[in-house]
Structure 1
Amino acid sequence: MPRPSSRTAAWLGPGALVGAGLVLAAIDPAGAQTTPDPAAAAPGLFAPTRDGGATLAPGFQPGDPTAASPDGRSRFGAIDETAPPGSRPPTRPATQFDSKNARKPRVPLSFTQRQQEAARLKRAPVPATLVRGTNPHQIPVVMLDRLRRRGGPDIDTTSRLNVPVAAIIPRRAVSVEEDPFAPTGVRVGAFTLRPAIETTTGYDTNPTRIQGLPGSGFTRVAPELIIRSDWQRHRLDADLRGSYTWYGQTYPPVTENAGTVTATATPEIIDRPNMDSRVTGRYDVDKLSHFDGEARALISTDNPGSPNVQTGLRRFPIVTTVGTTFGYTQGFNRLEVTGKGTFDHQVYSDSLLADGTTSSNADREYNQYGGALRVAYELKPALRPFVEAGGDTRIHSQKIDRNGYDRDSKGVFVKAGSTFEFSRKLVGEASLGWLWRFYVDDELTNMSGLTIDAALTYTASDLTTVKLIGTTVASEIIVPGLSGVFSRNVTLRVDHAFRRWLIGTAQIGTGIDSYVGSDRVDHRYLASLALVYKLTREVQLKTELRHDWLRSDLANADWDATQVTVGLRLQR
């Protein structure tokens, strides 16, 4: 008789089992002692299968304990191993449960199953039909903004083969801090303010830039405030920088042996201020057009050693320049046209002489009105060549200067160049051109010459950065018979991070000053080494060794100067 399961025995109870055995023995004594054929037995309450009743557990298939499985193993798992005496042989139930816990072979997924699994993991709807070439749906592809060309045709983001295409999901940008010692700034609404102040002290062997005069120690204090907007559209930034330099040495007039007093071409007190503050903004009209504006204020003095410096001065006269620029840019697919207008007003303070009197500098004041037009074409996203042309007019407050010249003039320039942005390796702009300036007074020689303008930054590696700066300036002069000074300057600077907190800088530069109306040409040179030690985000230590020298065609105009400085910078 088949042995009932433990769950069945527990349900019926011991008494019911004993009674059922007596009844069966009375009906068929021989059958109570023999085991019926499982295949011939009719399903019943005590059948070891699912048909035996819904309340019974799955039955077990009786079999020979010594019978081997098809793979040559016995039902106990070992090959040719018989069941130990008194033990119950393991059986395979009708539910296909394998009591041996054998490892099943892994069945590889088909192409369709892999697509379904990927869609399920991404929680995306799976098309009803995923057979290649028969899919009625088209899944759009997410295109990154950097892959789109501004003004170009839209990119087809669907599969042309009518096959589901995996969407391009951009990776979440990993926040990599470029400079761990950069100031964090102060957040005020939508603006970030970065205040700083730098104090420098050192010694200059020739602060007057006149050979033969003694050197002097100096102290410079330079506050600054950088403001950056954080708007999704438009922009408003400000760079406010200034400084004041005190010198410990004075340079009074020289008394000769004969008792005469000779005034030198340098003030007695050479302390001087400097400021360069600019506010820039952009208003975005749409994707292809925007307005740009700038307001600026500059405060400075004549450079020491300049021919514009009067003799017998008590202090340098201060020159203030205020101006503005307003422009508009319109894009036409890859073509971009920019027009801008400029206005600058330059004012000089009266000169304070050594004897206590003053001298007016109104003849050096002027207003400048100008404009320019630039046309650029985008050959590649990283290469945009352009051509630019413009002009300006200078009108002086005093028609005739102290030497009897009318210095009003008109200027015209043209230049061609390109902007660069090659994977952030090379970024900037460079151009070559030509400048003409025509003076109202016939006795003044017109000015013309090659212009060089560049502002390029090359990131050689994560530790090394190379910068190239080139400028061309046509400045005014007050010397009789001279029209102006045509200056070109080129500077090469290399910054290298020995450590993230230790930055070394090497710089070389040259400049040429051509005095229009005479044969004088000055060649200027500079070379410097500097080191910045960043203690924290807020505190930095600086030191620099710099040498400047000038070689001129004019006799007794050469000079050399060496500066050694150390400084402390506090920033937020």
Structure 2
Amino acid sequence: MRTGAIEGRGAGPEENPFDPVGLRLGTFTVRPRLDQGIGWTSNANSSEDGKSSTYSETALRLNAISDWSRHSATVDAGLNWRKSISGKKIDEPEGGINGELRLDLGGDINAVAGAGYRVREDSASSPSLVAGVADRPLRHTLTGIVGVTRDIARFRFGLTGDVSRNFYGDAKLDDGSVVSQAERDSTLATAKLRLGYEIFPAIRPFIEAEAGRRFYDETRDSAGYERSADRYALRTGVELDLREKLTGEISGGWLTERPDDDRLASISGFVTAGRLSWSPVRGTRVDLNAATEVEGTTSAGETGSLLYTGSVEVNHQLRSNLTGRAAVGLEYRDYAASDARDTVLWGEAGLTWWLNRYAGITGRARHEVQRSNLPGRDYDETSVYLGTTFQR
């Protein structure tokens, strides 16, 4: 028999030599990442007369994906902490964990179950923020989801139940006093019924109906209003699955939340939602995200607002060891039964230079502007950051 070559041809170059390899833990691949750096902002508390600050920022992220033949599970966790070194005081913790389990039950039946927790400071632009606050209250959010879908011929039927609970810490004022935010604590429970039809294997239009209720812990707030509300929504959209080229869904519709108290106006309006990921060429990914959130308030005689958010983010591999990121976003707040409006525009750009597969240097710059027809809510903020990134 013919003898093989003593020296074989060497392996070709690795396609993505700086991608994280992850850690193998049982049947999961875990990818941790740590960012540590120094930043500067021109407006530390996002206010009309905000002061500058230099801060330290630490961010820890972890992603775990199962390697099962039939079912799948994912876990995403993160913790971000900004603390001032000089200038205006900053002490902003933010973090959370989210897990999802997808089950293939056979017979074209699939199920999903998930739960999550997130904690962060209340937004500086929140309409419910107490005036003269020194330390914004922490907002805790617990979420849960259970759903099932079934395919029958070209039709897909889906039923999903969602629960989301928000509860708040106390707000500390400039004079040192503390104001409880307990009357803002609430739980939203909804059920969604979706019907989709497969036009092509990669395109599935759908229509979705939603019904639910928002329960406030306190039947009446300090002003005597019953803020618990019934919720209804109707949406239509399309699911897309073009493999690695384009995936996700986008939808639009109408939503109404009707409070129990007749003195409060309903929150109603057009709503959008979407998450699309597009890869026009190898090494480039474009992500589109859109959402609409109902914001409650405890101000006497006011119901709340609809907050529309949208963003476009582009990630591009400039070289094998150099990646760039650019993003722009818009937030628009429409107050119920009022002509008051808030608009936030922001843009961000950054680069990461990988020294090797496990370490890199990251820099970014961001500018954000809010304009409102309400007094005292306009602000401008510019920030920069430079730090190191470690991954596995």
Q: TM-score, normalised by structure 1?
A: 0.64
Q: Deviations over 1:235-276 (max 9, x none)?
A: 12100112111124576xxxxxxxxxxxxxxxxx54121113
Q: Which amino acid aligns with 1:315?
A: D
Q: Is contact 2:268-2:336 (8 Å) kept?
A: no
Q: Is contact 1:207-1:304 (8 Å) kept?
A: no
The 3-state SS of whatever aligns with 1:211 is coil
Q: Is contact 1:468-1:491 (8 Å) kept?
A: yes
The 3-state SS of whatever aligns with 1:542 is strand
The 3-state SS of whatever aligns with 1:537 is coil
Structure-2 residue corresponding to 1:534: 354
Structure-2 residue corresponding to 1:201: 38
Range with bigger deviation, 279-288 or 462-471: 462-471
Q: Using the alignment, how far apart are the partners of 2:223 and 2:309 within structure 1?
A: 29
- State yes or no: 1:377 paired with 2:214: no
Q: Is contact 1:444-1:517 (8 Å) kept?
A: no
Q: Deviations over 1:100-150 (max 9, x none)?
A: xxxxxxxxxxxxxxxxxxxxxxxxxxxxxxxxxxxxxxxxxxxxxxxxxxx
Range with bigger deviation, 553-562 or 202-211: 553-562
Structure-2 residue corresponding to 1:323: 143
How far does residue 316 in structure 1 lie from its aligned partner after superposition? 2.1
Task: Give the CA RMSD over aligned residues.
Answer: 2.1
The 3-state SS of whatever aligns with 1:376 is strand
Range with bigger deviation, 210-219 or 433-442: 210-219
Within the candidate set 215, 218, 222, 2:52 is matched to 215
Q: Using the alignment, how far apart are the partners of 2:176 and 2:66 within structure 1?
A: 48
Q: Using the alignment, how far apart are the partners of 1:175 and 1:342 within structure 2?
A: 48
1:44-443 → structure 2 map (5 Å cutoff): 179-248=16-85, 269-443=89-263
The 3-state SS of whatever aligns with 1:431 is strand
- Greater relative contact order, per chain length (Cα 8 Å cut-off, separation 6+): 2
Q: Using the alignment, how far apart are the partners of 1:250 and 1:406 within structure 2?
A: 43
Q: Using the alignment, how far apart are the partners of 1:504 and 1:341 within structure 2?
A: 38
Range with bigger deviation, 507-516 or 350-359: 350-359
In 2 relative to 1, CA 315–556 (structure 1 residues): closer, same or farther, beyond 3 Å?
Answer: closer
How far does residue 179 in structure 1 lie from its aligned partner after superposition? 3.3
Q: Is contact 1:472-1:487 (8 Å) kept?
A: yes
* Runs of 5+ unmatched residues, structure 2: 1-10
Within the candidate set 448, 452, 455, 2:268 is matched to 448
The 3-state SS of whatever aligns with 2:135 is coil
How far does residue 308 in structure 1 lie from its aligned partner after superposition? 2.2
Q: Using the alignment, how far apart are the partners of 1:287 and 1:238 within structure 2?
A: 27
How far does residue 326 in structure 1 lie from its aligned partner after superposition? 0.6
How far does residue 177 in structure 1 lie from its aligned partner after superposition? 6.2
How far does residue 200 in structure 1 lie from its aligned partner after superposition? 3.1
The 3-state SS of whatever aligns with 2:183 is helix
Q: Using the alignment, how far apart are the partners of 2:273 and 2:189 within structure 1?
A: 21
- State yes or no: 1:457 paired with 2:294: no
Q: Is contact 2:47-2:379 (8 Å) kept?
A: yes
Structure-1 residue corresponding to 2:4: none
Q: Is contact 1:547-1:563 (8 Å) kept?
A: yes
How far does residue 355 in structure 1 lie from its aligned partner after superposition? 4.6
Structure-2 residue corresponding to 1:472: 292
In 2 relative to 1, CA 423–176 (structure 1 residues): closer, same or farther, beyond 3 Å?
Answer: farther
Q: Taking every aligned residue pair, what percent have the same amino acid on both sides?
A: 29
How far does residue 417 in structure 1 lie from its aligned partner after superposition? 0.9
Q: Using the alignment, how far apart are the partners of 1:462 and 1:353 within structure 2?
A: 51
Between Structure 1 and Structure 2, the one with more helix by share is: 1
Q: Is contact 1:399-1:406 (8 Å) kept?
A: yes
Structure-2 residue corresponding to 1:504: 324
How far does residue 514 in structure 1 lie from its aligned partner after superposition? 0.9
Q: Is contact 2:52-2:87 (8 Å) kept?
A: no
The 3-state SS of whatever aligns with 2:199 is coil
Q: Is contact 1:394-1:409 (8 Å) kept?
A: yes
How far does residue 226 in structure 1 lie from its aligned partner after superposition? 1.0
Q: Which amino acid aligns with 1:366?
A: S
Q: TM-score, normalised by structure 2?
A: 0.92
Range with bigger deviation, 420-429 or 190-199: 420-429
Q: Deviations over 1:205-256 (max 9, x none)?
A: 01211122311112221112211110101112100112111124576xxxxx
Of structures 1 and 2, the larger Rg is shown by 1
Q: Which amino acid aligns with 1:385?
A: P
Q: Is contact 1:482-1:518 (8 Å) kept?
A: no
* Runs of 5+ unmatched residues, structure 1: 1-173, 252-268
Q: Is contact 2:54-2:87 (8 Å) kept?
A: no
The 3-state SS of whatever aligns with 1:363 is helix
Structure-2 residue corresponding to 1:164: none
Q: Deviations over 1:360-408 (max 9, x none)?
A: 2221111221110111121111111111111221111111212332211
How far does residue 319 in structure 1 lie from its aligned partner after superposition? 1.7
How far does residue 357 in structure 1 lie from its aligned partner after superposition? 4.0
Q: Which amino acid aligns with 1:202?
A: G
- Equivalent pairs counted in the alignment come to 382
The 3-state SS of whatever aligns with 1:321 is strand
Structure-1 residue corresponding to 2:3: none
Q: Is contact 2:55-2:90 (8 Å) kept?
A: no
